[in-house]
Amino acid sequence: MGAGLGTEGVGRNMRAVVQRVSEASVEVAGERVAGIGAGLLALVAVGQEDAEEDAVKLARKIVGMRIFGDAEGRMNHSLLEVGGSLAVVSQFTLLGDCRNGRRPFFGAAAAPERARPLLERVVDEARRLGCDVVTGRFQAEMRVTLVNEGPVTLLLDTRDAF
């Protein structure tokens, strides 16, 4: 465990940065591997002790958030209600702890063999709920391009820390 880190909740903290977009795409080695029009881009990190219920909770939260405008411009509609798409991109660096020193500590992030199935579970649950979902390429060096609408950017954590 990194210096200065407490033990409460370490490793059980699936996180996402969710951005409302008019478009987003993912490239790997110059090849476009995914793209969406209007919808959400979710950068997702899996913690060491995260479980299937965390993946399901996160997926439901992402697709159910009321962050799209209604006729009066209020955030009253979910991704499902507006028929938008979802792009899910794995990003373990969201679990980087930057409280000590100048180099992030990634000890809370799950190993790839643990993270991949839970990330896939997020995708599967979002699809089960009715979303059109595309993904980046797990463990690849990716170039993510997006046009943030609003801008609207939200942080989600399965421990409801924020």
**What is the domain extent for residue 41?**
15-157
Burial 2-24 (b: 16+ CB within 10 A, else e): eeeeeeeebbebbbbbbbbbebb
Asked if residue 3 is part of any domain, the answer here is no
User: What's the confidence (pLDDT) of residue 10?
Assistant: 53
Q: Collapse the DSSP code of 99 into the 3-class scheme (helix H, G, I; strand E, B; otherwise coil) and give the result.
A: coil
Asked if residue 41 is part of any domain, the answer here is yes
Asked if residue 5 is part of any domain, the answer here is no
Distances (CA, A) of 77 to 15, 70, 111, 129, 147: 22, 6, 35, 15, 19
Q: What CATH number is given to the structural domain containing 151? A: 3.50.80.10
User: What's the confidence (pLDDT) of residue 84?
Assistant: 97
159 vs 50: which has the higher pLDDT: 50
Residue 21 · residue 146 · CB < 8 Å? yes
- CA–CA distance, 77 with 109 (Å, rounded to integer): 32
User: What's the confidence (pLDDT) of residue 40?
Assistant: 98
Helix (H) or strand (E) holding 55: helix 52-64
pLDDT over 60 at 8, yes or no = no
Asked if residue 146 is part of any domain, the answer here is yes
Asked if residue 81 is part of any domain, the answer here is yes
Helix (H) or strand (E) holding 63: helix 52-64
Residue for token digits 């020193």? 101
Asked if residue 47 is part of any domain, the answer here is yes
Asked if residue 100 is part of any domain, the answer here is yes
Domain count, the chain: 1
Asked if residue 162 is part of any domain, the answer here is no
Q: What tens digit of pLDDT does each residue of 83-135 get?
A: 999 999 999 999 999 999 999 999 999 999 999 999 999 999 999 999 999 99
> Which residues, other chains included, contact 1 with Cβ-Cβ below 8 Å and sequence gap of 6+?
7, 10, 107
| Whole-number percent of the chain with pLDDT over 90 | 88
- Annotated catalytic residues are 91-93
